[in-house]
Chains A and B, each alone.
Chain A
Amino acid sequence: MDGAALTLDIGLTQSVATNADSVLVRRAAAGDTAAFEQLYRSHVGRVHGVILRLLGMDRARAEELTQEAFVRAWQKLGSYRHESAFSTWLHRLGVNTALMELRGRRDEQAMDDDALQAAAGGEVPFCAGERADLERAVSNLPPRARAVLVLHDVEGWKHEEISLELGMAVGSSKAQLHRARGLLRRALGGEI
């Protein structure tokens, strides 16, 4: 019973937040920068968080790209159709801003999937130590492998979505994930 009440409460809170966002978005789209600042204050943590992880914890660059993402959001507010939650739209825009950096890096993309499989070392369960170790290991991954791992395992994206955003085949996305997990396993000491 308590669980049901909690679920209802969370749902209600999210609904109120979405409505509040919707009002602010309409005001911001009409040129109200104060409304946009409120949206910034509400969402900057989530947008910055995903950009930071995609960039391997490069704080200075992540702040630059977060700033860029919000400027782009301001410019694109007119095209936001209120079909999805503003937070989802903004989060996606933040991810795209970070991925724009990675799309230009063709050197890794040139590696074929077999090589990636070999690098990963086969299907082996993972074992990680502390969260800090895991964060550090993720940030040390090659950029594209890290992007796929963060989007799939942390953000919950599907391979189809990742392949579209990163401009790669679905198979390559799976191979990159496999490679990333293998490299992580190795970096964390290979404790099985």
Chain B
Amino acid sequence: MNNEFEWRSEMRKLGGSVEPVHDLWPNIAAQIATRSTLRQNRWQIAFAIAATLVIAFAAGFVAQRGNWQSLNADSRLPPSSAMAWAQPRDAKLAAAARDLDDASAQIQQALEQHPDAVFLVGLLNRANGQRMRLLRQSQTHA
């Protein structure tokens, strides 16, 4: 090999495929599965947070509107019921209550997977607080 061309040609021959001694796929698959689960959990938590914030805002809005309507209420308000504390009779308040219950369930599910996530407890408390406000609102209506 006496010149640059021969040298480059010889060096190129060092290239090419070399199969690993061990099959690396099982470890790669395991790492991929772990990271995918973490990513999925992060999405679940993010969704739960987003859903709770939207629902809390919507519930607050509905409750305020219901409050305003109750100030201008007339005899069309539904009669008092023994179950009013559980499910508001007003259709809008009932829908908001259901959404809040769903959000609470999602947060609880996320909490079971991540018991150390303190912020989820805070979110759950907020959702429950909103739910209580709705109940009080429904009782005012009743």
Contact = CB atoms under 8 A, between A and B. Distances in A.
Contact of A67 (B3, B7, B13, B24): B24
Nearest to B21: A59
Contacts of A67: 24, 27-28, 31
Interface string A60-85: 00110011001100110000000000
Contacts of B28: 40, 67, 70-71, 74
A102 interface: no
Contact of B14 (A40, A53, A192): A53
Given A36-B32, A63-B24, A70-B28, A49 B1 contact: no
A35 to B, nearest CB: 12
Contact of A33 (B1, B8, B21, B32): B32
A135 interface: yes
Contact of B15 (A41, A59, A154): A154
Contacts of B76: none
Interface residues of B, number: 29
Interface string A104-140: 0000000000000000000001111001001100100
Between B2, B18, B22, the greatest number of chain A beta carbons within 10 A of the residue's beta carbon is seen for B18
A190 interface: no
Contact of A153 (B11, B25, B36): B11
Interface string B4-19: 1001101111111111
A150 B21 CA distance: 22
Interface residues of A, number: 39
A125 B1 CA distance: 9
B7 A48 contact: no
B83 interface: no
A44 interface: yes
10 closest A-B pairs by CB: A45-B17, A49-B18, A153-B11, A126-B7, A154-B15, A67-B24, A45-B19, A48-B20, A46-B17, A71-B31
28 contacts: A33-B29, A36-B32, A37-B29, A40-B28, A44-B19, A49-B16, A52-B18, A59-B21, A63-B21, A66-B24, A67-B31, A71-B31, A71-B35, A74-B35, A125-B3, A125-B7, A126-B1, A127-B1, A127-B2, A131-B10, A131-B13, A134-B10, A134-B14, A135-B14, A150-B14, A153-B11, A154-B14, A154-B15
Given A46-B17, A48-B17, A71-B31, 15 more contacts: A49-B17, A49-B18, A59-B21, A63-B22, A67-B31, A71-B35, A125-B3, A125-B4, A126-B7, A127-B1, A131-B10, A131-B13, A153-B12, A154-B15, A156-B12
